[in-house]
Amino acid sequence: NAGVTQTPKFQVLKTGQSMTLQCAQDMNHNSMYWYRQDPGMGLRLIYYSASEGTTDKGEVPNGYNVSRLNKREFSLRLESAAPSQTSVYFCASSEAPGQTYEQYFGPGTRLTVT
């Protein structure tokens, strides 16, 4: 099992450009998440999908959109990148959204917006 995979690993964008971060999991998990991690800020939830066909906003959703393509895949789109979106982005999945289920993280995408 590959677990949670993310593409690309690194990306540099100019302000105003758009891009989609891809995430896939092969653990048959129902729930998937997108986080960003900035120095001193910890992980902040951008969007999550409790189950296939549903998506909800997290703590910092502005400037992002998501698509739960199927049970395996959950993509994050930046429509018009801004320097404030320079960060490390992690995708995660869990068996279910309930309290007892821990999250498994992908390797991350390091995004720089100039």
Report the interface residues with another protein, using CB under 8 A.
33, 35, 40-45, 48, 50, 56, 58-59, 90, 97-100, 102-108
CB of 80 to another protein, least distance (A): 26
CB 74 within 8 A of CB 91: yes
CB of 16 to another protein, least distance (A): 28
How far apart (Å, rounded) are the C-alpha atoms in residues 31 and 49? 5
Pull the structure tokens for residue 19.
């891009």
Coil, helix or strand for 113?
A: strand
How far apart (Å, rounded) are the C-alpha atoms in residues 30 and 13? 31
Q: Which is nearer to another protein, 17 or 27 (CB)?
A: 27
CB of 52 to another protein, least distance (A): 15
Q: Which is nearer to another protein, 12 or 41 (CB)?
A: 41
Pull the structure tokens for residue 65.
């959109």
Q: Which is nearer to another protein, 26 or 56 (CB)?
A: 56
